[in-house]
Structure 1
Amino acid sequence: MGIVGSTIKPFKNTAFQAGKDFFDVTEADIAGKWAVFFFYPADFTFVCPTELEDLGEQYETLQGLGVEVYGVSTDTHFSHKAWHDTSEKISKIKYAFLGDQNHTLTNNFGVLREGVGLADRATFVVDPDGVIQLVEITPEGVGRNATELVRKIKAAKYWREHPGQVCPAKWEEGGETLAPSLDLVGKL
């Protein structure tokens, strides 16, 4: 089975989130909710803070959609706190960072770089049933776009809430959807 449509595996990781004590996050904490697991190679690096800041700028929008966000690297929760306390970009972020020094999550999601010990640059969107609905993996030198991630999440939520309807390319909230049928075959 491919990763899209598979169910997340059990995990327990310690998180850092600005303004809170360290806390543990497990698969039970996301049950019944939408969640984004936003993997990146390492704290104190180059492309990563630009992506994490971009995602942070969409955090309020994602929260309004009922989506929780977790930044994940193979660093510790202590490293995440230190980076938050010393980086202008990272200090603005309000979502949680999960430490994955034991590589549980990176292995569960299949994004651990063998022989390197770092996570690939990867995004996973998990639905309220714990099923992975969206995946994006880019090479280390290519940053992701949080605005496009929000669009894809809105489409995934719409598709889940409206059986029989699908969202075409470039679909935006409120846009036309399609009802797949024999009548549409060869007409699009």
Structure 2
Amino acid sequence: MLTIGAKFPAFDLQAVVSANPATAFSRVDNDSAQGKWKVFFFWPKDFTFVCPTEIAAFGKLNGEFADRDTVVYGVSTDSEYVHLAWRQNHPDLKDLPFAMVSDIKRELSSALGILHPEEGVCLRATFVVDPGNIIRFVSVNDLSVGRNPQEVLRVLDALQTDELCPCNWQKGDAVLKAA
């Protein structure tokens, strides 16, 4: 699995950006959010139970991420058509403010090393990537355990200080000074 300090892999994937079939589809690639921080969070499968709770939680925080010059991408190995159908049929997903990216050929998830060995679907992996496309944070949960998007936001805040941040540091708290 790729980890801290590695360059985020190149990608060019189809994404769903709205629930309207006429405007739903868009390509996203390495240059789509050039010069910005990025959060990529991966989920195992559409039309499941834990995944929409996480996706909706990231959606509710999207404005907070945008305030930090950060673009959020949600990714799974489902096709863009499955993403669209799920978005149209799940009330918590209809108005998502970020792209649902399709890694149907498993190229990005394979390059990151986050495919479940038996199931062949993405683990619940989260990557925070800096404007230079360097991975600065990685978290991976078991398939059955949802993640905490608020913690991802807290870590992003800490990374953006470019300072030493103690345990449980929150935006606005004092940072550590090396002696």
Match of 2:166 among 165, 168, 178: 168
| TM, length-normalised to structure 2 | 0.93
Distance (Å, rounded) in 1 between the aligned partners of 2:95 and 2:53: 12
> Are the counterparts in 2 of residues 72 and 97 from structure 1 also a CA contact under 8 Å?
yes
Residue in 2 aligned with 1:65?
Answer: 68
> Are the counterparts in 1 of residues 76 and 101 from structure 2 also a CA contact under 8 Å?
yes
Q: CA deviation at 1:98?
A: 0.4
Residue 157 of structure 2 corresponds to residue 154 of structure 1: yes
Residue in 1 aligned with 2:114?
Answer: 111
Residue in 2 aligned with 1:184?
Answer: none
Residue in 1 aligned with 2:13?
Answer: 13
Q: Aligned AA for 1:150?
A: L
Distance (Å, rounded) in 1 between the aligned partners of 2:117 and 2:141: 16
Structure 2: runs of 5 or more not aligned = none
Distance (Å, rounded) in 1 between the aligned partners of 2:128 and 2:53: 20
Aligned pairs (5 A) from 1:25-36:
25-36=28-39
> Are the counterparts in 1 of residues 16 and 101 from structure 2 also a CA contact under 8 Å?
yes
Q: Provide the identity percentage.
A: 35
Residue 142 of structure 2 corresponds to residue 139 of structure 1: yes
> Are the counterparts in 2 of residues 43 and 79 from structure 1 also a CA contact under 8 Å?
yes
**Larger-gyration structure (1/2):** 1
Distance (Å, rounded) in 2 between the aligned partners of 1:139 and 1:169: 23
Residue 26 of structure 2 corresponds to residue 23 of structure 1: yes
Residue in 1 aligned with 2:128?
Answer: 125
Residue 47 of structure 2 corresponds to residue 44 of structure 1: yes
> Are the counterparts in 1 of residues 2 and 113 from structure 2 also a CA contact under 8 Å?
no
Q: Which has the higher helix share?
A: 1
Structure 1: runs of 5 or more not aligned = 160-164, 182-188
Residue 75 of structure 2 corresponds to residue 77 of structure 1: no
Distance (Å, rounded) in 2 between the aligned partners of 1:47 and 1:36: 19
SS in 2 for 1:29: coil
Residue in 2 aligned with 1:3?
Answer: 3
SS in 1 for 2:117: coil
Q: Deviations over 1:14-60 (max 9, x none)?
A: 01011534111111223311001110000000100011111111001
* Structure 1 segments (4+ residues) deviating >4 Å: none
